[in-house]
Amino acid sequence: TSITQPYRTGYHFQPPKNWMNDPNGPMIYKGIYHLFYQYNPKEAVWGNIVWAHSTSRDLVNWTPHKFAIYPSQPGDINGTWSGSATFLPNGTPAILYTGINPQNQQVQNLAMPKNTSDPYLLDWVKTPRNPLMAPNAQNQINATSFRDPTTAWLGADGRWKVIIGSKIHRRGLAILYTSKDFINWVKAKHPLHSAEGTGMWECPDFFPVLANGKNGVDLKIQKGVKYVLKFSLDDTKHDHYTIGDYDHVKDIYTPNRGSTDGDSGLRYDYGKFYASKTFFDSAKNRRILWGWSNESSSVSDDIKKGWAGIQAIPRVIWLGKSGKQLIQWPIEEIEKLRTNPINLPRKVLKKGSVLQVAGVTAAQADVEISFKVSNLEKAEVLNPSWTNPQLVCSRKGASVRGSLGPFGLLVLASNGFEEYTSVFFRIFKRQNKYVVLMCSDQSRSSLNPGNDKTTYGAFVDVDPVHEQISLRSLIDHSVVESFGGGGKSCILTRVYPQLAINEAAHLHAFNNGSESVTITRFSAWSMKKARIN
């Protein structure tokens, strides 16, 4: 990063220039992590989409390669859109992806490595049989809403299964296809799952998680697991998921009671995070989530800076102890970039106090802070009609004094607080329970009026009576990626300060509530630059 490019990231993945969107086909092969991504080779806006390709040994430092998949056949001549990798029983990775055909219909294609002994998998060969799945007069598939095949799995019946995102009118669908040989695919009679009123499901992802434990599992049919179905809602641009059960005889997925499809359900991230995809990391027995974060700057600013789109830090993902939600945490490898640790002693933060943390490169940092709250009886009562956390955060931003909160971090702050982004908590009472709200308030993040400064918010399932409230923020120039409650609620935001850049950015803890809170832990690290292409 430099003065002329103050928003380029130090350790979040991005190409040197132009447009990037969805992560595609993430996998580990012969000890090498692969990331493909939707890329426009020509400019900083969406279009001309190819699969760009980078590899890594640690998910932190990346080497770019030539494009892996690009338009070359009738089945993809107008675009090579999103898709996923599947390991065949002989260990060969196969890629299913969406192609746009000469009629601008969406069809599904297969590409295989040219040379399986190359751990970098530089060359991909498309089968001449493409497309393998296509809309036609019989199958009633909507030709402009049929895309983004998942990683396939082998069913109990010995057949391959894969789902593809779709919709019929306002009903979102995970269309199911099955195959005996990975080449000839047959549309199943019913979708794996669908939900009325949700609109197009982009980039579905379907995978098991251990019912008890943090380890990841692959897609082999097994006991002791729950299933996750995630889809990216084209209408809202959020990644939603449910937790449920998969009947692998009937090939039907059913969300658990209380796990709701669509906009009123759970999200991976309550900020900017879309078109995500997981893979099973067999080297470390974990499931890893990749997600794309779009810019919040104007298109003209994107064109001026010459690039748009980053990937979130890969997150390990597992089912929380409650069984009701997933937990996400940045891969441990990212901690290799930590340097110059600052550890502050336990401290009471009185009302109105702002505590600066000196000695960290605040524009490129990793911060962990925990709060202990007493005086819980002082919690404000949450208006029962305030069920949308984002709205509560927008009405009660960082500058609105409360009782228990707002307290948290002011990041990317300029000297005179002309600019800052605040990530904070508030504690409310609702009936006989406490409710913890996490907010990321971008309203003061930049003096540039041209950015989207929407405030984001999420409830965090922690019990302030017995637990401390923790926050980790990965700050990276134009990225503030925050994990509340040890990864129970995540908010990634994009900000573009004009004053608080590079060395002029500062980091603070604050408490703007009328009650004191205690900081029980406060660790901050400067982050080294990763090789991100």
245 is catalytic: no
Judged by CB under 6 A, does residue 203 bind ligand DQQ? Answer: yes
Among 7, 51, 81, 246, binds ligand DQQ (CB under 6 A): 81
Among 18, 21, 56, 364, binds ligand DQQ (CB under 6 A): 21
Among 76, 202, 295, 515, binds ligand DQQ (CB under 6 A): 202
8 A C-beta contact, residue 37 and residue 22: yes
Which residues, 6+ apart, have CB-to-CB distance to 311 below 8 Å? 12, 13, 14, 20, 23, 35, 37, 290, 291, 292, 293
Q: Which is nearer to ligand DQQ, 97 or 207 (CB)?
A: 97
- Could you tell me what percentage of the chain is helix, strand and coil, using 3-state DSSP and rounding each to the nearest 5? 5, 50, 45
SS3 417: coil
Q: Which is nearer to ligand DQQ, 19 or 29 (CB)?
A: 19
What minimum distance in Å lies between the beta carbon of 269 and ligand DQQ?
15
Number of residues that bind ligand DQQ (CB under 6 A): 12
The pair of structure tokens assigned to 165 is 């995102």
Where are the strands (E) in 350-443, listed by range?
A: 353-357, 364-372, 380-381, 407-413, 421-430, 433-441
What CA–CA distances, in Å, run from 107 to 145, 166, 405, 427? 10, 12, 51, 49
Judged by phi (left if over 0) then psi (alpha if -120 to 50, else beta), residue 16 lies in: alpha
Out of 22, 148, 234, 269, the active site residue is 22
Q: Which is nearer to ligand DQQ, 275 or 495 (CB)?
A: 275
Residues 36-55 that bind ligand DQQ (CB under 6 A): 38, 49
What minimum distance in Å lies between the beta carbon of 240 and ligand DQQ?
14
What minimum distance in Å lies between the beta carbon of 438 and ligand DQQ?
26
Judged by CB under 6 A, does residue 239 bind ligand DQQ? Answer: no
Residues 362-391 that bind ligand DQQ (CB under 6 A): none
What minimum distance in Å lies between the beta carbon of 494 and ligand DQQ?
16
Judged by CB under 6 A, does residue 76 bind ligand DQQ? Answer: no
The pair of structure tokens assigned to 142 is 């909507």
Q: Which is nearer to ligand DQQ, 10 or 291 (CB)?
A: 291
SS3 393: helix
Please count the helices (runs of H) and the strands (runs of E) in the chain: 2, 39
Among 8, 53, 126, 147, binds ligand DQQ (CB under 6 A): 147
Q: Residues 256-283, buried b or exposed e (16+ Cβ, 10 A)?
A: eeebebbeebbbbbbbbbbbbbbbbbee
Among 54, 61, 98, 101, binds ligand DQQ (CB under 6 A): 98
The pair of structure tokens assigned to 214 is 């943090």
Q: Which amino acid is at 151?
A: T
Q: Which is nearer to ligand DQQ, 202 or 461 (CB)?
A: 202
Residue count (the chain): 533
Q: Which is nearer to ligand DQQ, 35 or 527 (CB)?
A: 35
Task: List interacting residues with ligand DQQ (CB under 6 A).
Answer: 21-22, 38, 49, 81-82, 98, 147-148, 202-203, 275
Residues with active-site annotation: 22
